[in-house]
Structure 1
């Protein structure tokens, strides 16, 4: 059974690819957004210990899975159990274009309008990817990719093979 980790900038296509792989290969899917944040506004991260408990529960429940997100600190908790990592290393402009075309994500937002109200903030967040040095940054993702020792793939566009 496959165990795949997908990561990259916001808007890089992680959720889309994860859903496709999960469906095609009959894998459980975990979007780390669902275990990384407190359900409050403005958003605030959960303690890593709290997120890791949810992740461990998921891992114990499923023998085959795809886990996706932009949280290098949470991804480090699962990469040692993964068979494969996929780094969606798209340009910032491609991620912004994807974010503008993003369909409603009901597991994250109460409505498409609520999601769209966040678009300006999301675009600003995406644009900082290459200059940040936090757990969400390109630098953190490159380190995660470099240190993974099994099968790893990097895509520079949403068209696989490029």
Structure 2
């Protein structure tokens, strides 16, 4: 029997975090938390929640589930769970792959009232995704790399999007 899975996935929008997180959670029967659901006020786009409340919600989720996967672009929320000793995965497939994934993503009803609203906000998302490689802060490549470098636990950076139809043996072994 494999060990309990506790996994934090960090990366840019469009890096494949949600897809990989859903796949891993399904494969392992783990609970899944999209950090967008605790970082923002419910039913409001781009209205941040109190950071302390969001961090508390993340900890409650992780402490309430034996196996879990969390994913998002919020270094501070991922940092909240690092004392619990999860595996940390940084998805860094590059700007062009992230932009391509954003252009082809399905409607996200937990974020947008309609597909049309999501499509209207696409240009802003694409600009934000591109800026990830140049800005500073917790939702930047620099912020993600700093958190990744500082973590002494089990970690892995993926610089190419893995095929989940035929996942590499190395990835499967790393996940346990």
TM-score range, shorter chain: over 0.9
Determine which of 76, 93, 97 is the counterpart of 1:94. 97
**Does residue 1:141 correspond to 2:138, yes or no?**
no
Q: TM-score, normalised by structure 1?
A: 0.93
Give the C-alpha shift of residue 44 in structure 1: 2.2
- Cα distance in 1 between the residues matched to 2:35 and 2:44: 18
Match of 1:125 among 103, 128, 145: 128
Tell whether 2:45 aligns with 1:60.
Answer: no
Name which of 69, 80, 95 aligns with 1:77. 80
Report how many residues are paired.
162
Partner residue in 2 for 1:154: 157
Q: TM-score, normalised by structure 2?
A: 0.86
* Secondary structure of 1:78 counterpart: helix
- CA-to-aligned-CA distance 1:7-26 (integer Å, 9 cap, x gap): 11111000000000000000
Structure 1: which 5+ residue stretches go unaligned? none
Please state how far the C-alpha of 1:117 moved relative to its aligned partner: 1.5
Q: Deviations over 1:94-140 (max 9, x none)?
A: 10011001011222222222211111110010010111111100011
Aligned pairs for 1:10-89 within 5 A: 10-39=13-42, 43-89=46-92
